[in-house]
Amino acid sequence: MTAAIPVPSPAPRTYEPTAAPETPAAHAKPRGTDIVRVAGFDSAQMQKGAPPGWLLDIKLGDPQISLERGSQLYYLHMISSGTSYGVKNGIKVDIKEYPYLNWRWKVTRLPDGGDVRKSDTDDQAMQIYIAFTPTGFPEALNTPVLGYIWDNMAPKGWTGRSPAIGGGKLRYVVVRNKTDRLGQWYTEKRNIYEDYQKLLKDVECADPAGVTHGVEFYINSQNTKSAAESFIGDVYFSKR
């Protein structure tokens, strides 16, 4: 998430969205008290430009966002044309009890030359942020955050800090990149409790203190002055 302070930029190229997503394949998952649902949208309804229970987080430009129907759920469809925005909610989950984050996503357009390792090309088609209990004041600079991203140029498995100002407690994990097929659905599962201990061991609290403070889905392409498009949904925490 690289545009905390938006700056004027040349007008972006026009980008036309793709068609609605094909029906994702069914997949088994835990049920009942074994999961905490984050994003299992059950209709195309939007409230103030975001799914019900979510808030828009706009850094630059006008969001292009909708909910598209899949086989059983609706998926969040996000388009960036030189813009930078996301949607967030304040879900609170104890990741010691629910250590796994699960989600399905698809990217149909990657930002040209997007590379999380460089501040002037730090654009991604989809970013998933998990915020944890702040370790100090001000909260904006002292909140540990894990970011799971679909990058373009950075190698899969790369982990590191955010190059953005104020991103000292943000750690990235590149889950997918340009070597993965565009237009194809992928199902992911991460042990975020282990990721926290490994990637945030240098913060004041090397073990997550308390519960999560929120989840955000984000897209941007303003640094590369290009475009990006993605879908995400069926996001939940699980015990196993």
DSSP 176-206: E-TTSPTT--EEEEEEHHHHHHHHSTTSS-S
Place of tokens 């998430």: 1
Q: Between the CA of residue 152 and those of 37, 55, 121, what are the distances in Å?
A: 28, 27, 10
What distance in Å separates the CA atoms of residue 62 and residue 44, rounded to the nearest whole number?
Answer: 19
Q: What does the pLDDT look like over 99-108, one tens digit per residue?
A: 999 999 999 9
* pLDDT for the residue 210: 72
* In a domain? residue 31: no
Q: Are 155 and 172 in contact (CB under 8 A)?
A: no
3-state secondary structure of 219: strand
* pLDDT for the residue 31: 56
* In a domain? residue 21: no
Q: What does the pLDDT look like over 157-214, one tens digit per residue?
A: 999 987 776 668 899 999 999 999 999 999 999 999 999 999 998 876 667 767 899 9
* In a domain? residue 27: no
Q: What is the band of 85 on the pLDDT scale with cuts at 50, 70, 90?
A: very high
Strand partners, 191: 100
What distance in Å separates the CA atoms of residue 53 and residue 59, rounded to the nearest whole number?
Answer: 20
What distance in Å separates the CA atoms of residue 155 and residue 158, rounded to the nearest whole number?
Answer: 6
Mean pLDDT of 137-166: 88
Number of domains in the chain: 1
* In a domain? residue 28: no
Tell me which H or E stretch contains 237: strand 227-238
46: containing domain: 38-238
Considering only CA atoms, which of 70, 192, 43, 60 is closest in space to residue 131? 192
What distance in Å separates the CA atoms of residue 235 and residue 90, rounded to the nearest whole number?
Answer: 14
For the entire predicted model, the pTM comes to 0.86
* In a domain? residue 15: no
Q: What is the band of 23 on the pLDDT scale with cuts at 50, 70, 90?
A: very low
CATH number at residue 47: 2.60.120.260
* In a domain? residue 180: yes
* In a domain? residue 17: no
* pLDDT for the residue 136: 79
Mean pLDDT rounded to a whole number for the chain: 86
* In a domain? residue 7: no
Q: What does the pLDDT look like over 219-233, one tens digit per residue?
A: 999 999 999 999 999
Q: Are 114 and 153 in contact (CB under 8 A)?
A: yes
What distance in Å separates the CA atoms of residue 122 and residue 3, rounded to the nearest whole number?
Answer: 9
